[in-house]
Amino acid sequence: MTVAQNHYDAIVVGSGISGGWAAKELTEKGLKVLMLERGRPIEHIKDYPNAFKEAWDYPHRDKPTNQMKKDYPVLSRDYPLNESTFGMWANEQESPYTEVKRYDWFRGYHLGGRSLLWGRQSYRFNELDFEANLKDGIAVDWPIRYKDLAPWYDYAERFAGIAGVRDGLDVLPDGQYLPPVPLNIVEQSVAARLKKAFGGSRHMIHGRCANITQPKPEQNRVGCQYRNKCWLGCPFGGYFSTQSATLPVAMKTGNLTVRPFSIVTQVLYDKNTKKARGVEVLDSETNMTYEFTSNIVFLNASSFNSTWILMNSATDIWQGGLGSSSGELGHNVMDHHLGVGAFGEVEGFDDKYYFGRRPSGFYIPRFRNWGSDKRDYLRGFGYQGSASRQGWSRNVAELSIGADFKDALTQPGPWSIGMGGFGEILPDHSNRIFLDKNRKDKWGLPVLAMDVELKANELKMREDMKQDAIDILQAAGVKNVQGYAGDYGPGMGIHEMGTARMGRDPKTSVLNGNNQVWDAPNVFVTDGACMTSASCVNPSLTYMALTARAANFAVEQLKKGEL
Amino acid sequence: MNRRDLLKMIAAATGMAMVGGELWAAGMKSPDAGKTLYTADDVAMLDEIADTILPQTSSPGAKAAGCGAVMAVLVNDCYSLEHQTLFFAGLKHIKSLSKQQFKQDFMALKPEQKLALLSQLDLEAKKGGTSGLEGSSSLASSKSSDRKGELHYFTLLKQLSLFTFFTSQVGGTEALRYVAVPGKYDGDLPYKKGDKAWAT
């Protein structure tokens, strides 16, 4: 009886962007799937309590309190700690981790994971991104090329709904787009001036984002209402999330079971078949342990937690866990380094304003070490930014307090434009995570320790990231340009990648070209852990494409009896 | 748009980091934490200060927006001990300045007297000069939090007044313009001087 209840064709661990995709693909192909989520359930629309709130609806006007800062010391290092998304980030007291060096780990432990909170920028890796490691002699070669993933990018974009423009740039391959989120008049003007100033070698284009600019009635999604409140959950289904897009499709098949409050503590490995037979689950509410069995397992628990599960699995065979035979499990942590850019003021548009609040702005694709450009570091960076008129928080230096001051602040100020870089971090064996066996979480499970830092290549790149931003804005006629180089701790990009990389050789990689764990081919890892290099573009779209591709492969293999 | 960088940029450009940013350093609460640090009189005084900075014009002022009470909550719950102390001392200082200059309680001053007193503090704060507050220099510079030199308590008062007013419903919907569900984006909207700014 127990066996019948607890056996599925496939188990998906995690419910974020990649877990949602895995569940959708596998259930649509007819598999009975169990999705395990360590946190609480969140129901689309019903459980978005703050979706219609404004600053005045919060006791502290959306600012974090001292108590919140005390309870969430990591979150308080950057923007995520506020009243509106409170409760949407992992509890740092219950789930601590060890920082050998500073590491900012922003986690979403609830159904939907960070798909509810993500930045939604959606770019494809380019051909060179998949060849760069080989060409540069860095880490290992990707086992796949752009052409392997291109049809899956198409597929993922069509379903998720990506707003953008086909700009025809090699550095940023075009995809399947809905109409773009518009650039405003100032951004259009600066874009035109930029193109002229750099002879067509640098481009300011529409950001490509997973916000739908046309309805998707087949998904019951109304579309973006230009409220710019995406991270509160969108009652209009305006952006792609597990709840708005993949989960409803998976549920509709009748093949999906979702089990919340389920911490997967290990993959159960069968040494006779050399495959996984399922997973062990600790119920986070009852502390009861359960076994669920399946033919295949997809690990989509977020980069570091998927690796944490592997590290805790099959330790009787491999001391370092399943996938550790390569010596690379937990290594090659990457993120995108940021916090560097420039801003300034744009003259000549005092008679222009805008209506609506966009969920995306402009993008400047990588131009460093591209084409004939050659720098004293490897790889490159892109910029994200926007132009807007300054609001009430600006200084009106010439006015004292009182009526005139107030009336001036009720009107928009000068136009500002600003942008920040997202830089590629090279995979480096010494940037790693490992189990801290001396420290336990609320459930008595060993926690992760982070030992990650920026290396010389990234530090050199950051100099360019700042200076190029200044140069670009100045060349485009922006006034009072100021560069900035702010605080960045690894992880702050919330793009943690690596630790179970794909590769061509089981001796140097954890996963093969189909995201299978070399040492247990019915275990697939398709979240950020699988990344062999990081590119400089936001990674989530690539996880979607990799997951759909791997799920398709897994089902084909199952049908052939190969798994 | 890159929200995280934009926030930092705004902070860098406007100095608004002091509201909610690094200057609100995490840490100890005041020894009185848990109690209400402010009396009704204090809230009334905060209302008067905020309303002097942002008075009723063609739109309601800070008092009508209930700024005083929210300022007290924010100072109690979100300010560092350092800034709570500076803020308290600042209120006392304003009371004593009122006595000195006008021989009256601050609350009894005429609007133009309040404006004169606070304008003088605004000028002082802008110049980065001393507040005349004993120990304020060591208070403000005791942590790495103060990047612009000495922090004047009036800077805290002014920023808190602006913040609580423009994030209030009155400020957001009457002093500024607010549309809950825009439904579209127009990036080329004609603007003529005097048109109100959007609340968010």
List pLDDT tens digits, range A33-80.
999 999 999 999 999 999 999 999 999 999 999 999 999 999 999 989
- Pairing type for strands A516-517 and A262-270 reads unpaired
Secondary structure element (H or E) that encloses residue B97, with its range = helix B81-102
Residue pLDDT, tens place only, A372-411: 999 999 999 999 999 999 999 987 878 999 999 999 999 9
Question: Residue B119 is inside which H or E element, if any?
Answer: helix B111-127
Treating both helix axes as pointing N-terminal to C-terminal, what angle do A146-160 and A127-136 enclose, rounded to 10 degrees?
140
- Structure token digits, residue A325: 């035979």
pLDDT given for residue B136 in this prediction: 44
With bands split at pLDDT 50, 70 and 90, how would you rate the model's confidence at B132?
A: low
Tell whether A398 lies on the interface with B, counting CB pairs under 8 A.
Answer: no
Q: How far is CA A177 from CA A154, A157, A160, A182, in A?
A: 9, 7, 10, 13
- CA pair distance A110, A121, nearest whole angstrom: 22
Those of residues 350-389 in A touching chain B at CB distance below 8 A are: 350-361, 384-386, 389
Of B55, B124, B54, B57, the residue nearest B90 (C-alpha):
B124
Q: Which residues of chain B have a CB within 8 Å of the CB of A78?
A: 4
- Express each pLDDT in A283-293 by its tens digit: 999 999 999 99
A239 with A210: CB under 8 angstroms? yes
Half-sphere exposure of A458 (CA within 13 A, CB side): 25
| Cβ atoms of B37 and B69 closer than 8 Å | no
Tell me how close the Cα of B6 comes to any Cα of chain A, in angstroms: 7
Q: E strand or H helix at A195, and its extent?
A: helix A185-197
Packing angle, helices A540-559 and A146-160, rounded to 10 = 100
Whether residue B36 has pLDDT greater than 90 = no
Q: Are A183 and A358 in contact (CB under 8 A)?
A: no
Residue A183: which of B58, B187, B198 has the nearest Cβ? Answer: B187
CB-CB under 8 Å, B182 with A225: yes
Residue of A169, A182, A250 lying closest to A211 (CA atoms): A182
Beta bridge partners of A8: A294
Average pLDDT in chain A? 97
Question: Using one digit for the tens of pLDDT, what is the confidence trace for B39-89?
Answer: 899 999 999 999 999 999 999 999 999 999 999 999 999 999 999 999 999
| pLDDT over threshold 50, residue A448 | yes
pLDDT tens-digit map of A143-185: 999 999 999 999 999 999 999 999 999 999 999 999 999 999 9
C-alpha closest to that of A75 among A40, A109, A41: A109
3-state helix, strand, coil split of chain B in percent (to 5) is 55, 5, 40
pLDDT over 90 percentage in chain A: 96
pLDDT in tens, A265-276: 999 999 999 999
pLDDT at residue B37 is higher than 50: yes
The domain segmentation of chain A, as residue ranges, is: 1-61+89-159+262-334+430-451+498-563
| Cβ neighbours of A77 in B, within 8 Å | none
Does the beta-carbon distance from A352 to B191 stay under 8 Å? yes
Confidence of residue B133 (pLDDT cuts 50, 70, 90): low
Q: Looking at the domain A1-61+89-159+262-334+430-451+498-563, which fold is it?
A: FAD/NAD(P)-binding domain (3.50.50)
Identity of residue A349: F
Note the pLDDT of residue B146.
40
pLDDT band at A4 (very low <50, low <70, confident <90, very high): very low
Provide the pLDDT for residue A466.
98
Q: Determine which helix (DSSP H) or strand (DSSP E) holds B47, and give its type and residue range.
A: helix B40-53
The amino acid that residue A67 corresponds to is Q
Chain A residues with CB under 8 Å of B164 CB are 61
Dihedral sign (CA B20, A470, A453, A17): positive
Q: Do the Cβ atoms of A367 and A374 come closer than 8 Å?
A: no
Q: What is the pLDDT of residue B130?
A: 56
Selecting from B78, B181, B197 the residue whose C-beta is nearest the C-beta of A392 gives B197
Give the distance, in angstroms, between the CA of residue B39 and the centroid of all CA atoms in the same chain. 18
B185 closest CB neighbour out of A341, A356, A419: A356
How high is the ipTM of this complex? 0.94
| % of residues, chain B, pLDDT over 70 | 71
Structure tokens at B186: 């127009």
- In A, minimum Cα distance to B62 occurs at A406
Please list, in sequence order, all residues whose beta carbon lies within 8 angstroms of the beta carbon of residue A532, skipping any fewer than 6 positions away. Answer: A133, A139, A140, A141, A142, A143, A427, A498, A501, A502, A503, A509
CA nearest neighbour of A461 among A558, A373, A520: A373
Range A207-229 average pLDDT: 98
| pTM, 2 dp | 0.93
Query: Is A161:A120 a contact under the CB 8 Å cutoff?
Result: no
A384/B188 Cβ within 8 A: no
Residue B5 has pLDDT above 80, yes or no: no
Task: Judge whether A402 is closer than 8 Å to chain B, CB to CB.
Answer: yes
Alpha-carbon span A352 to A184, nearest angstrom = 10
pLDDT tens, residue by residue, A511-557: 999 999 999 999 999 999 999 999 999 999 999 999 999 999 999 99
Spatial neighbors of A156 by CB under 8 A, at least 6 apart, are A21, A541, A544, A545, A548
Q: What's the pLDDT at B149?
A: 59
Q: Determine how many CB atoms are found less than 10 A away from the CB of residue B181.
A: 12
Q: What phi and psi, each to the nearest 5 degrees, are found at residue B30?
A: -60, 155
Q: Which of B2, B4, B8 to mutate to test the interface with A (most CBs of A within 10 A)?
A: B2
pLDDT at B8 over 80: no
Q: Which residues pair with B41 in a beta bridge?
A: none
Q: Is A77 on the interface with B (CB under 8 A)?
A: no
Question: Which residue of chain B comes nearest to A339, CA vs CA?
Answer: B5
Whether residue A319 lies within 8 A of chain B, CB to CB, comes out as no
Q: How confident is the model at residue B129 (pLDDT cuts 50, 70, 90)?
A: low
